[in-house]
Amino acid sequence: MLTYEVSARNISVTIASAKVTLTPPANWFGPDVLAIRATDSEGAFALATVRVDVLPVDDAPFFNAIPVQVSDHGGQWVLDLRPFVHDVDNGVSELTFSTNSGQAKAVGYLLFFSYADRAADERVVVTVRDPANLTATVEMEVRVGPSIWTSLYWPWSGGAAAGLAAVAYAGWRRKRLHDYNIEDMMIIGHEGLLLAHTTRRLQSGRDSDIMAAMLTATLMFIRDSFREDKSELSRFEMSHDRAGIVTKGPHVYGAAICTGRVPDASYVGLKEFVDDIEERYGDRLAANVGMVEEVLPGLTWAMSVFARHGRYRAGSLERLIGEEHVGHTPRRKRWGHAPEPTAKSVGQVASDPSAEAGGGDPR
């Protein structure tokens, strides 16, 4: 009668009734070698080896539970999905997210929430899909409570006040269909560095997480939309009432985050604004030198005026910057190259690593 012993480096081996069962570790694949020893009743034995290849099988992503999202007065906020989703085969950046709600918009791995200041309790289903088209879903609860003013007003409003509110809302809604605001504007280098930013949000100092999320969403959109050498305007939706407009110049990207209804991406004039920035500051952008306000004097101010007006017309940059900045960095078409920066006003900044490799968009 023969007895058998089998061992392997990674695979677990069991023998029962002359049958061998091989069990690889979870989420492991690759080659392994079985060492087999057969021994008879007299102690004589024979050795053999068998190579085993364990092939990979794509596993579906999965979610952990997402905590209840609570807001006391509506508004906008952002949720990063990375702590709640897992995929042993793919990174989070390779996954695609979507929701069943118009108030919760997925941009990359970020969820942008936008709720009115009134009571709401919604079940939002988030779906994740991997490159192999395997999916997983999770349901999360969103609770919105009205602000104190809404709570105080409603019990005493009466039918007449409700009617007036309905008329006012209809008028506001009609206006919003043809109205928009530029909430944030960003100038971003091709390497992904935020060069200049202006915002019209009232609590900009306390909204650093929203700003970081908008920048992350914009960079992910740039990565996916500007893979080739193109510079046309592109638009992406961030929530049911917020959209981003992005354009590409030779050295920088321009991005405008708009609320309301933008008639058309070209209507805002963002491409013309970036073209004028490249014309005025192109030499210094190419040199990657100095701080924004030293090397690009007046740019942040021009961006804030552009955002306040909501629209830009080609050739208006000099007027927006103002007389105090005119001449600091002459327009290249009129006077040739800009003057060389001095040691007092600028300092050398590390060059764009993508330039040494032939350029390219941020990935």
**Statement to judge: residues 74 and 135 lie in one domain:** yes
- Higher-scoring residue by pLDDT: 139, 353: 139
Please state, in angstroms and rounded to a whole number, the distance separating the CA atoms of residues 25 and 29: 8
* Residue 177 banded pLDDT, cuts 50, 70, 90: very low
For residues 300 and 246, membership in a common domain is answered with yes
Write out the two tokens for 138: 């999770």
Which range among 29-33, 115-119, 284-288 has the greatest average pLDDT?
29-33
71 occurs within a structural domain: yes
Q: What's the CATH number where 122 sits?
A: 2.60.40.10
- Which pLDDT belongs to residue 175? 52
Q: What is the pLDDT of residues 205-255, one digit of tens each?
A: 556 667 777 778 788 877 776 665 565 677 777 766 778 888 888 888 899
User: Is residue 173 assigned to a domain?
Assistant: no
What's the confidence (pLDDT) of residue 5? 87
Q: Is residue 167 part of a domain?
A: no
pLDDT value at 171 more than 90: no
Confidence of residue 192 (pLDDT cuts 50, 70, 90): confident
Q: Is residue 242 part of a domain?
A: yes
- Mean pLDDT for the stretch of residues 90-109: 90
Residue 10 has pLDDT above 70, yes or no: yes
202 Rama class: left (phi>0) / alpha (psi -120 to 50) / beta: alpha
Does residue 40 sit within a domain?
yes
208 and 314 co-located in one domain: yes
Q: Is residue 309 part of a domain?
A: yes
What is the CB-side half-sphere exposure of residue 315 using CA atoms within 13 A? 2
* Same domain (yes/no): 277, 236: yes
Identify the pLDDT of residue 351.
38
Same domain, 299 and 267: yes
Q: Tell me, yes or no, whether 186 and 315 share the same domain.
A: yes
Is 87 in the same domain as 217?
no
Categorize the per-residue pLDDT at 191 as very low, low, confident or very high, splitting at 50, 70 and 90: confident
Question: How do beta strands 12-16 and 19-23 pair?
Answer: antiparallel
330 exposure class (CB count in 10 Å sphere: 0-12, 13-18, 19+): middle
User: Higher pLDDT residue, 24 or 76?
Assistant: 24
Percentage of the residues of the chain whose pLDDT score is greater than 70: 71
Q: Looking at the structure, do residues 114 and 16 belong to the same domain, yes or no?
A: no
- Residue range 133-159, pLDDT digits in tens: 999 999 999 999 876 555 544 444 445
Residues 115 and 20 in one domain: no
- pLDDT the model gives residue 167: 59
Q: Are 332 and 197 in contact (CB under 8 A)?
A: no
Nearest to 97 by CA among 5, 220, 222: 220
Q: CATH no. for residue 217?
A: 3.30.450.60
Q: Return the C-alpha torsion angle 304, 306, 308, 309, nearest 10.
A: 160
Are 196 and 100 found together in one domain? Answer: no
Q: Tell whether 73 is covered by a domain.
A: yes
Tell me, yes or no, whether 229 and 300 share the same domain.
Answer: yes
Q: How many domains does the chain have?
A: 3
**Mean pLDDT score across all residues of the chain:** 76
pTM recorded for the entire structure: 0.50
Average pLDDT over residues 308-325: 75
Which structural domain, as residue segments, surrounds residue 133? 62-149
Containing 83, the helix (H) or strand (E) segment is none
Residues written for the chain: 363
Q: Are residues 125 and 249 in the same domain?
A: no
Residue 348 domain-assigned?
no
